[in-house]
Structure 1
Amino acid sequence: NHLTRSMASASIRASASLAQRVAVVTVAVTATHAFKHNVAEFTLCEGPSMMPTFHAQGDIVVVNHTVARGNADDVHVGDVVVAKSPTTPGGNVCKRIMAKEGSEVRIFSETGNTIRRRKGETPKTFVVPRGHVWLQGDNVNNSSDSREYGPVPVALLKGRVDYRVFPFAYYGAVERRIPISWVKAGFVDDERLDVVSA
């Protein structure tokens, strides 16, 4: 009888220990998931569209989900953001905000994969609609962006890119700026916005 009680007690302790471990793992997984989706996460930003800001082979960045998530008031022209891809289900895009709702956007004719302002050419202009932003890559000659898929609904914004953590040689904050490539291509006037060479 004593042996039976002793075995039952050991079984209860083992069950309690297992339950505690399961609870700890469950809390850790839930907290990690909540942090990743609501606070910040590491993301790989790769491809040529954001060169020279990011490397084509891919940079690991920190996406801040506490800003930009479906709210245009949290982001500014020049911020780099991650958004759900408007064209690829389940995909993301990493681009810079060129214009917000109510801003006029100028687009020049496209020749091959190069955007150039032709002498005397009048650009197409339109106003970014309410609840949308205009996303564009820093590498204007090699970027699939709002010039291709149009203004992006603010609801697709996932967060602002605040830091690059890899490659380690380029670790640091990601600046809000206007690439000189946008000015040279005629998308923005350097008189209207602060321009930093890219």
Structure 2
Amino acid sequence: MSLKNPQLWIASSKEAWKLTFTVAKFFCAIHVVDKYICSIAWVHGPSMLPTFNLTGNLVLVDRISTRFGSVGSGDVVIVRSPVKPTGMITKRLLGLEGESVNYVLDPKNSDERAKTVVPKEHVWIEGDNIYASRDSRLYGAIPYGLLQGKVVWKLWPPEDFGSVARRR
């Protein structure tokens, strides 16, 4: 492009800025959807067997439910790890504030049970595989603010495709 024709240079710069803003708006929209509406996550590990595969499942996460308090006992949730703040964990929500929770203290070594009441603005979470799960039995009830979303659908692998069942 030559500076001998300033109208052509101005027209191309305007077109470039227009394209740049269109791309920026697209990425902003993707960010808003991912952060506040729904997102896709990879869930793996032994703590949620048999609900999810050991090697992992791609899941759809509803991020609106946790913001408006429409999660309940039995829902599978994505939680910011209380012991490693950069990490995310997937567990089943078993108790909301004020509810009484009955749990096995050390399932690998005994059947001894304990009972607790979930404190205000906290929730109780546990993995479905209590023998291989680090959860509220280890670090207690977690603040509601650590909930990031509710897992609603398994997307991958194809043989697992379908809704994530709520358990009571």
Residue 101 of structure 1 aligns with which residue? Answer: 97
Structure 1 residues 164 and 115: CA distance shift in structure 2, 3 A: farther
The count of residues paired between Structure 1 and Structure 2 equals 166
Residue 88 of structure 1 aligns with which residue? Answer: 84
Contact 1:108 1:115 in 2 (8 A): no
Residue 12 of structure 2 aligns with which residue? Answer: 14
Please report the RMSD computed on the Cα atoms of aligned residues, expressed in angstroms: 1.6
Residue 79 of structure 1 aligns with which residue? Answer: 75
Contact 1:136 1:146 in 2 (8 A): yes
SS of the residue 1:33 aligns to: helix
Structure 1 residues 24 and 57: CA distance shift in structure 2, 3 A: same
1:153 matched to 2:143: yes
Identity among equivalent pairs (%): 34
Residue 58 of structure 2 aligns with which residue? Answer: 60
Q: Which residues of 2 match residues 161-176 of structure 1 at below 5 A?
A: 161-176=151-166
Q: Deviations over 1:162-195 (max 9, x none)?
A: 11101111111111113xxxxxxxxxxxxxxxxx
State the 1:89 CA deviation. Answer: 1.9
2: CA distance, partners of 1:15 / 1:115: 70
Residue 39 of structure 2 aligns with which residue? Answer: 41
Highest CA radius of gyration, 1 or 2?
A: 1
Contact 2:105 2:137 in 1 (8 A): no
Residue 182 of structure 1 aligns with which residue? Answer: none
Q: Structure 1 residue runs of 4+, over 4 Å off?
A: none
Structure 1 alignment gaps of length 5 or more: 179-198
SS of the residue 1:25 aligns to: helix
